[in-house]
Amino acid sequence: MGVSVSVRSYTHATTYVADNILKSLKNILLYTGLDPENLADEWEVLHRGIKTWIDSGHLQKVVLEIYDPKTDALVGRWDINITYDWTGGDGQFWTDTDAIRFAIKKAGVLPSAARYRVMTTTASGRPDVDGWSSTTFRSTEGMIEQRIGTSIEASGLSGGVSYYRRG
């Protein structure tokens, strides 16, 4: 019985973290003045990839790149770094949306014409997920990373948030 409870709890934790990563990205888009429609359109594919790679322990980071479509230059970036310190049991589950909202106030609103994409970094050997492909990140040269801290927590399986701004 103990094993099945732990398995259910870990499955619940991975689902919780995947759900709240996407909800956090949606909030970032809304709070910065960008339209989350494209995120909503890709929600199922994004969720499937993020959850699969959390389940397998391969997901390292989820990245929201915000760029100028005319120059293709990065204008902002948000990272959610995954930590696997699963403790099991009925631990705490929480998401700190206020920390993200406060950071956005500091970072400022982005140009409404900006576009965005969601990407991940994964450990080698990760399983393939339909709808996902390889790509490269835009340069963060000239930008400063600001760490917010843990914003998503599920019994030690967590997401630490940071953002990049022009220096």
CA distance 88 to 119: 28
Q: Which domain holds residue 35?
A: 2-166
Q: Which residues of 15-36 are buried (b: 16+ CB within 10 A; e: fewer)?
A: ebbbebbbebbebbbebbebeb
The pair of three-digit structure tokens given for residue 159, joined into one six-digit string = 């997401």
**Overall average pLDDT of the 113-125 stretch:** 96
> For the whole model, what pTM was predicted?
0.89
Supply the CATH number for residue 25's domain.
3.30.900.10
- Which is it for the CA torsion 63, 40, 130, 13, positive or negative? positive
Q: Name the domain count of the chain.
A: 1
Give the C-alpha separation, 79 to 77, whole Å: 7
Q: pLDDT digits over 69-96, tens only?
A: 999 999 999 999 999 986 665 567 888 8
Return mean pLDDT, the chain: 89
Smallest CA-to-CA distance from 14 within 46, 54, 53 is with 54
In the chain, pLDDT over 90 holds for what percent of residues? Answer: 66
- The answer to whether residue 100 scores a pLDDT higher than 70 is yes
Q: What is the pLDDT of residue 105?
A: 82
